Amino acid sequence: MVKYLILFFLIWSTAFAQNSTEPVVRKGLLNATGTISFGGMTKHEQTNIYLHGLGEYLVNDWNSLRSDIYFYLKSGDKQMLELNHQLFVGAAFHFNTNHQFVPYVGLQPGLALTQANFVTIQGVTNNVEVSPLISVAMGFNYYASKWFHLFIDGRYVSGKHLSNQKKIDLDELRISFGLGFNINIFGSNSQTKP
């Protein structure tokens, strides 16, 4: 176990030690990450916690096809929602792509699988709904090495859950951060930027 840990950290440090001047953000770049995300609902006093996974592919040097998935874990004491898993598919526009610090903005339509956590009388249950969402994302990636990057992602999500008792606004301001993995499927020298 200790050997594997040492090996892992050696590979890690080697990856970060590479000081390439070649831009990492190019057509063909694949980004992937998994992290924990925190969100504050803007129309209710509730904080939500999610497992967040994202995958992104750069179709050219600036634009990416990007998908994010949020697996709802829990909220505080006043948990309004029993289910609130969300999936987004959309695009992002990356700036400053000749450098390591690469900000972006994104727009992603999405869907949520939602269920309220209201008290119910016998024989009546809270309905499970598929709820359309739209989300605007912004943040940055810092490509510290050829294979890894640090990221901070913030987003505003808008939508509503139509329960069989009353609607719940799903509007939420959310933040994620962590370490991501990146690789270019066309190889490192297949293309050069102007």
Partner 1 sequence: MKRIGFLILFLAVGFHLKSQNSKFKDSGTLEFGTRSTFSTFSGSGNIGTGFGGQFRLSFGKYLNSEWFLDYFSEDISGLANRNDAHIGWSVMFYPLKRQQQLVTPYILAGHCFDYTKISLIKPSQEKPTPLFSERWSSATQLGLGTHINFSHNFNLSVSGQYMIHLGNDIHTHTHIEKGSEVIHFKENHEEISLEGHLLFTISLNFKIAQLW
Which residues make up the interface to partner 1 (CB under 8 A)? Answer: 27-28, 57, 59-60, 62-63, 65, 89-91, 93, 107-111, 129-134, 159-160, 162, 164-167, 185-186
Q: Least distance (Å) from partner 1 to the CB of residue 166? A: 6
Q: How far is residue 36 CA from its own chain's centroid? A: 9
In this structure, the strands spanning 167-169 and 128-142 are unpaired
Pick the closer one to partner 1 by CB: 14 or 188.
188
Both tokens assigned to 128? 């499970």
Pick the closer one to partner 1 by CB: 76 or 109.
109
Determine the Cα–Cα distance for residues 141 and 179; give it in Å rounded to an integer: 9
Q: Least distance (Å) from partner 1 to the CB of residue 105? A: 11
Determine the Cα–Cα distance for residues 39 and 43; give it in Å rounded to an integer: 12
Pick the closer one to partner 1 by CB: 6 or 65.
65
Q: Least distance (Å) from partner 1 to the CB of residue 157? A: 12
Determine the Cα–Cα distance for residues 78 and 62; give it in Å rounded to an integer: 42
